[in-house]
Amino acid sequence: MHVMLWLAEGTWEGCIDAAAPLIPEDARVSLLYVVPEDVLHAAGAAAEGLIGRWRSRPQTGLTEQMAAEAMASGEALVAAAAELLGQADVGRVIRRGRIEREVVQAAEAADLLVAARDGDRSRLGPHSLGPATRFVVDHAPCSVLLVWPDEAPDVDSIPPPPESRRRDQSAPPRG
């Protein structure tokens, strides 16, 4: 069984902590990190969009300069994650592109993809998934294990459905 953990800044430690006890001992584990191409591109394009500043632009372009840094910081994050997991021999996959698409592509090789909730985690839904995570859960070509990177909120944190609230107010007390 091939288990792939998708790691992102802000939730990676919680993701490892939550997933580690659930990974079968004989499973092959790999760690995935995606460098967000659109963020690099936005920065580079803003610099190129400055009309007339031909000479002040960096020769290689801001996008490529930042990409090298982003790849290195991704590698460092994955290395820290491997250490936290206590497994030095895990597979390490660093990709660059549109995050949600790259994760789905990479998950093709896995039997189980582990992802962390990264939306509003103050209560149980709605919107406990950020846009990229929602896309990944929806499109993953394998099973998905969705973990809470920190302690899951209480079940009472779910807002009651609107109809039941109305009924509670209008209906006479039962019993």
How many Cα atoms occupy the beta-carbon half-sphere of 76 within 13 Å? Answer: 7
37 binds another protein (CB under 8 A): yes
Q: Is the CB of residue 77 less than 8 Å from the CB of residue 33?
A: yes
Backbone angles phi and psi of 136, in degrees to 5: -65, -45
Interface residue with another protein, options 22, 38, 75, 164 (CB under 8 A): 38
Q: Is the CB of residue 121 less than 8 Å from the CB of residue 148?
A: yes
CA-nearest of 78, 135, 131, 127 to 104 is 135
Interface residue with another protein, options 21, 52, 162, 173 (CB under 8 A): 52
Interface residue with another protein, options 17, 20, 61, 77 (CB under 8 A): 77
85 binds another protein (CB under 8 A): no
Find the largest Cα–Cα distance for the chain. Answer: 82
Interface residue with another protein, options 1, 22, 27, 46 (CB under 8 A): 46
Give the bridge partners for 5, in sequence order: 31, 114
Binders in 109-128 for another protein, by CB under 8 A: 118-121, 127
Q: 112 or 129: whose CB is closer to another protein?
A: 129
Interface residue with another protein, options 3, 6, 14, 82 (CB under 8 A): 14
Q: 56 or 170: whose CB is closer to another protein?
A: 56
Binders in 155-174 for another protein, by CB under 8 A: none
Residue 3 and residue 20: Cα distance in Å, rounded? Answer: 11
Q: 122 or 169: whose CB is closer to another protein?
A: 122
C-alpha distances in angstroms, 13 versus 6, 72, 115, 122, 166? 11, 18, 12, 18, 41
Interface residue with another protein, options 2, 20, 30, 66 (CB under 8 A): 66
- Interacting residue ranges for another protein, rule: CB under 8 A: 8-14, 36-39, 41-43, 45-58, 62, 65-66, 69-70, 73, 77, 80, 97-98, 118-121, 127, 129-131, 133, 149
